[in-house]
Amino acid sequence: MFSGAMVALITPFQDGAIDFETLDELIEFQLEGGIDGIVPVGTTGESPTLSYDEHKKVIERVVKTVGGQVPVIAGAGANSTAEAIEMTAFAKKVGADATLQVGPYYNKPMQEGFYEHFKAIAEEVDLPVVLYNIPGRCGAGMTPETITRLAELDNIVAIKEASGSLDQASEIATQCDITIISGDDSLTLPLASIGGKGVISVVANIVPADVKAMTDLILEGDFVSALKWHKKLFALSKGMLTLATNPIPIKAAMAMLNMSSEELRLPMTPLLEDKKSILKQTLTDYGLLN
At 72-109, the pLDDT tens digits run: 999 999 999 999 999 999 999 999 999 999 999 989 99
**91 inside domain:** yes
Say if 261 falls within a structural domain: no
Whether 45 is covered by a domain: the verdict is yes
Q: In this predicted structure, what is the pLDDT of residue 1?
A: 77
Mean pLDDT of all residues belonging to the chain: 96
Report CA torsion sign: 164, 6, 223, 33. Answer: negative
* Residues linked to residue 289 through DSSP beta bridges, in sequence order: none
Quote the pLDDT of residue 239. 80
pLDDT of 136 above 90: no
Q: CB under 8 Å to 79, separation ≥6 — which residues?
A: 104, 105, 106, 107
User: What percent of the chain clears pLDDT 70, i.e. is strictly above it?
Assistant: 100
| Cα-to-chain-centroid distance, residue 230 | 18
Give catalytic residue positions.
132, 160
Whether 224 is covered by a domain: the verdict is no
Question: Is the pLDDT reported for residue 235 higher than 80?
Answer: yes
CATH number (domain holding residue 203):
3.20.20.70
Residue 242 clears pLDDT 80, i.e. is over it: yes
| Stretch 218-222: mean pLDDT | 98
Amino acid at 63: V
At residue 240, the pLDDT reads 82
**Whether pLDDT at 31 is above 90:** yes
Count of domains forming the chain: 1
Dihedral class, residue 227 (left if φ above 0, else alpha if ψ from -120 to 50, else beta):
alpha
pLDDT score for 115: 98
- Ordered DSSP codes for 49-113: GS-HHHHHHHHHHHHHHHTTSS-BEEE---SSHHHHHHHHHHHHHTT-SEEEEEPP-SS---HHH
Does residue 290 lie in a domain region? no
Residue 237 lies in a domain: no
* pLDDT tens-place string over residues 161-202: 998 889 999 999 999 999 999 999 999 999 999 999 999 999
The per-residue pLDDT for 48 is 94
Range of the domain at 108: 4-219
Tell me whether residue 259 is in a domain.
no
Read off the pLDDT of each residue in 132-151 and give the average, rounded to a whole number: 92
Specify if 272 maps to a domain: no
